[in-house]
Amino acid sequence: GQQLNQSPQSMFIQEGEDVSMNCTSSSIFNTWLWYKQDPGEGPVLLIALYKAGELTSNGRLTAQFGITRKDSFLNISASIPSDVGIYFCAGLETSGSRLTFGEGTQLTVNP
């Protein structure tokens, strides 16, 4: 089946720094999504991208849908302690029914 390669696996940064993580796929997706998961909770949708080349922001978060439709990145600017958590990319298949997730990026923010 399809797989998403997400990197880096983990990041340790200082409060106020910017963060960048990315996701690549061997297959094309029609939609790219970025989620955040806190301990003991389900993933929460941060940003959805629907068109190749699309750049979308949500507060301090910015994500882009790659031109090839096989990759996406997420940037977090001016990180704060509550940004701590696991970030997942996910691709939605053409049929629109199934989400394929990356393996996650564990973000730690030191105050």
**Residue ranges in contact with another protein by CB under 8 A:** 1, 4, 6, 31, 33, 40-45, 48, 50, 88, 90, 92, 95-104
Nearer to another protein, 14 or 97 (CB): 97
* Nearest distance, CB of residue 78 and another protein, angstroms: 26
Nearer to another protein, 37 or 77 (CB): 37
* Nearest distance, CB of residue 62 and another protein, angstroms: 18
| C-alpha–C-alpha distance, residues 8 and 98, integer Å | 24
Query: Quick one: tokens of 42?
Result: 């389900």
* Nearest distance, CB of residue 95 and another protein, angstroms: 7
Look at the alpha carbons of 25, 27, 32, 33 in this order and tell me if their dihedral is positive or negative: negative
| C-alpha–C-alpha distance, residues 68 and 84, integer Å | 30
Closest CA to 76 of 21, 23, 38: 21
Nearer to another protein, 5 or 80 (CB): 5
> Could you give the C-alpha distances from 103 to 4, 5, 74, 106, in angstroms and in order?
8, 7, 15, 10
* Nearest distance, CB of residue 79 and another protein, angstroms: 22
Nearer to another protein, 58 or 78 (CB): 58
